[in-house]
Chains A and B, each alone.
Chain A
């Protein structure tokens, strides 16, 4: 089933709480958290911070975010073999990422991109969309 589009208005509803949770999880100031900020590149997040963030979002919004769901959603309908080859995201994979991560500034989609570096693209808005999808899944 095609995903229902997420509008800017949908993002604006959850953004203030997501931004506060990002600031709490990363131990940074709220004013440093921007919608387009890359959590890894701009806010020095590490893998443990993503784990912390997902648990905090689950508690804060009362939703379940299955493990590995973000990367799995980013890959979309593409089988893993078509998404990446020898650890490098394929052209088809890059096209899928640009579409799925529409909130990420286009100049950050550099090629060749290692599949393990996909989380470097994630922004505060990416996590707003994660929350919105989890809320919709809970209502479905």
Chain B
């Protein structure tokens, strides 16, 4: 079975679409690891559906920028994400939006001032098939439980300097090893920016867990990812050099500057803030 509209699709249904405002929902499957960063992906996909429809499926947003992603609570297996996006601007060049995800009526994630550059739809997917999927989402909705999980990031060659920096190589899965490439995107597989940010968050966590005074603080969580910029596409099988650098750290939080590079060219940059789980 093809992974298209299944393996990396995080909107099950669009429940309201009025002006620049759109709402939808997504049921997080049971028995599958669902990284928190996929809540941001779900909000981004909701905005993408609405913007693609507005431009008659001629273009689609791919990757881009986000001023800030604030994490308030984690999703759990079986929960339903209620999604909202407010589209501030949408044209053939870019879509600009902010959005939120709620779990059990409580704010779980805020995405602030995100921008997705628009690219020709036909490069990435079959426009008529995307249009049909959109009508499915507007109508009865897509079948829940389509997501089968994503492989854990394959990180190696770790070089850690506690209290300072951590570098590692991320081996992006080959096309055949990661079903999400069939959905992201059917005609041109691209490693999702949210999964790259997830890998950078994991490295940040590893560094901070070895850096006083938070080394002894117990479980840590990502509180905020800001100034996110995905500068270029990453193809299946690529090797990315990741680096997370500690900017400042105190008992309440750690701030890091993170980057992914490919052959010395910067692929993505962001800033990440971690905090003890009891100090959201």
In the complex, what distance in Å separates the CA atom of A52 from the CA atom of B227?
A: 10
Interface contact B231-A46, CB-CB below 8 Å: yes
Query: Any chain A CB within 8 A of the CB of B229?
Result: yes
Q: A39-97: which have CB < 8 Å to B?
A: 44, 46-49, 51-52, 55, 59, 67-68
Q: Once the chains bind, are A52 and B65 in contact (CB under 8 Å)?
A: yes
Q: Is A16's beta carbon under 8 Å from chain B?
A: no
Rounded to whole angstroms, the CA-CA distance of A27 and B227 in the bound complex is 9
Let me know if B178 is at the binding interface, CB within 8 A. Answer: no
Q: Tell me if B232 and A51 are in contact (CB < 8 A).
A: no
Residues 217-239 of B, flagged 1 when their CB comes within 8 A of A and 0 if not, give 00000000001011110000000
A55 with B229, Cβ < 8 A, contacts A48-B64, A67-B91 known: no
Q: Which residues of B contact A47 (CB under 8 A)?
A: 117
Contact flags B90-127 to A (C-beta < 8 A → 1, else 0) = 01111010000000000000000101010000000000
- Residues from chain A with Cβ under 8 Å of B229 in the complex: 27, 48-49, 52
The residue that A55 contacts in the complex, of B63, B92, B96, B227, with Cβ under 8 A, is: B96
Q: How far is the CB of B232 from chain A (nearest CB, A)?
A: 7
**Interface: B204 (CB within 8 A):** no
Are A67 and B232 in contact, CB atoms less than 8 angstroms apart?
no
Q: Among A48, A59, A68, point to the contact of B117 (Cβ < 8 A).
A: A48
Cβ of B7 within 8 Å of any chain A Cβ, yes or no, is no
CA distance A76 to B209 in the complex (A): 57
Kindly list 17 other residue pairs between chains A and B, CB separation below 8 angstroms, not including A24-B227, A46-B232, A48-B65. A27-B227, A27-B229, A46-B231, A48-B117, A48-B229, A48-B230, A48-B231, A49-B229, A51-B64, A51-B65, A51-B93, A51-B117, A55-B65, A59-B113, A67-B93, A67-B94, A68-B93
Give the top 5 A-B pairs by smallest Cβ distance, nearest first: A67-B93, A52-B65, A48-B231, A67-B91, A46-B231
Residues of A contacting B: mostly: helix
Chain A residues, CB < 8 A from B63:
48
How distant is the Cα of A67 from the Cα of B117 in the complex, in angstroms? 12
- In the docked arrangement, what's the CA distance between A46 and B65, Å? 13
Residues of A in contact (CB 8 Å), total 13
Q: Report how far A68 CA is from B92 CA in the complex, Å.
A: 10
Partner of A67, one of B92, B230, B269: B92
- Could you write out 14 A-B pairs with CB less than 8 Å apart? A27-B227, A27-B229, A27-B269, A46-B231, A46-B232, A48-B63, A48-B65, A51-B64, A51-B93, A51-B94, A55-B65, A55-B113, A55-B115, A67-B93
Task: Give complex CA distance A68, B91 in Å.
Answer: 11
Shortest distance between the CB of A10 and any CB in chain B (Å): 27
Is the pair B115, A51 in contact by a Cβ cutoff of 8 Å?
yes
Query: Shortest Cβ distance from B130 into chain A, in angstroms?
Result: 23
CB distance from B4 to the nearest CB of A (A): 26
Q: Give A24's nearest chain B residue, CB to CB.
A: B227
Contacts of A67 in B (CB 8 A): 91-94
Q: Which residue of B lies closest to A66 (CB)?
A: B91
List residues of chain B with CB within 8 A of the CB of A55.
65, 96, 113, 115
CB distance from B197 to the nearest CB of A (A): 15
